[in-house]
């Protein structure tokens, strides 16, 4: 399958996908200064900054995004640190073929600043989640999760960086599994062939 990655920032997850040999054909950013665009450039992947200010609203922006993906014949999409909500028509177009990575054990701490939310709440364990995207906020069926123990001296930075190392393993594994047809969705449950018995 041809995959695209939507980004906003640093792009460490994009780099992890590239290094793991995932078939990434396009990178789109809504921020011109996203370091992820440099990573795409260096990796020789087609990339584009699509300026939200040139569109009337989020629906119009996502229509342009969908057109771009269609022209590039993109079949599946990763949101890797993408900080914009995706509108329902785009979500539906890629239903079951659009995934997101989130720095908490969902459904705990959805939305922005999930690492800070976990620290502020005082939980002892948080983690990373890879999930399918639906029209809610970080609410789609969960593909993979891994826990990260919070240390007493953790800051938002130290904890975020341990969570990111986990993301960098979980996300490429999910892309490979979907790409190889090893995953199916049954309601809220995601069934992975690798974990089936017998």
Under the binding rule (CB under 6 A), the answer on residue 140 touching ligand GRF is no
Q: Are 180 and 158 in contact (CB under 8 A)?
A: no
Smallest distance, ligand GRF to C-beta of residue 111, A: 10
Quickly tell me which residue has 């969902």 as its tokens: 106
Quickly tell me which residue has 């290094």 as its tokens: 19
Under the binding rule (CB under 6 A), the answer on residue 80 touching ligand GRF is yes
Under the binding rule (CB under 6 A), the answer on residue 13 touching ligand GRF is yes
Dihedral sign of CA atoms 12, 45, 89, 145 in order:
negative
Q: Are strands 125-132 and 98-102 parallel, antiparallel or unpaired?
A: antiparallel
Q: Are strands 183-186 and 189-192 parallel, antiparallel or unpaired?
A: antiparallel
Stretch that binds ligand GRF, among 9-17, 58-66, 142-150, 188-196 (CB under 6 A): 9-17
Stretch that binds ligand GRF, among 55-63, 86-94, 101-109, 181-189 (CB under 6 A): 101-109
Q: How many CB atoms lie within 10 A of CB 99?
A: 25
Which CB sits closer to ligand GRF, 29 or 87? 29
Active site residue: 30, 102, 131, 168, which one?
102
Q: What is the largest CA-CA distance in the chain?
A: 54
Under the binding rule (CB under 6 A), the answer on residue 127 touching ligand GRF is no
**Catalytic annotation on 102?**
yes
From candidates 167, 172, 174, 190, binder to ligand GRF by CB under 6 A = 167
Q: C-alpha angle 139/76/68, rounded to 5°? A: 110
Which CB sits closer to ligand GRF, 10 or 182? 10
Q: Which spans of this chain sit near ligand GRF (rule: CB under 6 A)?
A: 9-13, 36, 80-81, 101-103, 164, 167
Catalytic machinery residues:
102
């Amino acid at each position: 399958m041809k995959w695209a990655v939507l980004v906003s920032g640093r792009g460490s997850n994009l780099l992890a996908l590239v290094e793991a040999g995932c078939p990434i054909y396009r990178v789109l950013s809504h921020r011109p200064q996203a370091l992820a665009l440099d990573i795409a450039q260096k990796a020789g992947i087609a990339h584009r900054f699509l300026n939200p200010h040139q569109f009337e609203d989020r629906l119009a922006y996502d229509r342009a995004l969908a057109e771009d993906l269609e022209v590039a014949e993109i079949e599946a999409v990763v949101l890797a640190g993408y900080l914009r909500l995706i509108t329902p028509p785009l979500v539906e177009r890629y239903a079951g073929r659009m995934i997101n990575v989130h720095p908490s054990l969902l459904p705990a701490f959805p939305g922005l600043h999930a690492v800070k939310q976990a620290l502020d709440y005082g939980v002892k364990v948080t983690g990373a989640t890879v999930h399918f995207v639906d029209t809610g906020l970080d609410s789609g069926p969960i593909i993979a999760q891994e826990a990260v123990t919070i240390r007493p001296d953790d800051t938002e930075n130290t904890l975020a960086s341990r969570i990111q190392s986990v993301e960098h393993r979980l996300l490429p594994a999910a892309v490979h599994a979907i790409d190889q047809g090893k995953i199916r969705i049954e309601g809220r449950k995601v069934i992975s062939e690798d974990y089936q018995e017998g």
